[in-house]
Structure 1
């Protein structure tokens, strides 16, 4: 096997760590957020359930949107890599804001939850889809 054709170990580790970090935040979202919204932030369980359904519907549209954006991106960094630069910081900001608990009214809290959770979902998609789309370009081996 030709050594020039293989992905370097540093690139493999870098990719693995970026995907692991991205999925760590996602796992916190999916395993802890229902408890957080209902027991910590005081939202009604039914309202949170509707929020989660709306977020899953939004995810389907976001994935298509990010895919089209990747296809139309032409930069010196390639098609996918600019998304790591553009969306990593907003992703971190929304990950923090999702767990901030401002003292709003019940409707204000729900609006805050919608804005932060849907924003977090969008930026997760904006970072994760490009990470996955990079896979075929990491090696020239067929």
Structure 2
């Protein structure tokens, strides 16, 4: 944003069969990992996806987006879709797609949410030691086997 002074969407390449889980952008490359967005569509079927560049919930948006959101009709699921407002923004301003580098957890899925929570606990200064001890008690004592937790016993 500092350099281009326009909206920037964080994107990540996903397998084509997963495009229907995300907003997908079509972008023209202008630099390594950076593209000018030509279009954006919410959760397209894989055959209709303009690319495999998924918007992954990282946005830097210009203030104009707020006016556009106010005037955006309800879309998928009867909700106002940010994707629709960004599509309108594209008609007025440049929007860039920046290929996200790093680890991302899809907290929209149960498994992704659990992975993010576990990673957070393992890295958190106040939780890490006790959480690692719990994991060692729970899993290492079973010779590497992950067994179903007896919910009648209190986990410690």
What band does the TM-score fall into relative to the shorter chain? Answer: under 0.3
More helix by share: 1
Between 1 and 2, higher relative CO (CA 8 Å, sep ≥ 6) is seen in 1
Q: Please tell me whether Structure 1 or Structure 2 has the larger radius of gyration of its CA atoms.
A: 2
The TM-score normalised by the length of structure 2 is: 0.21
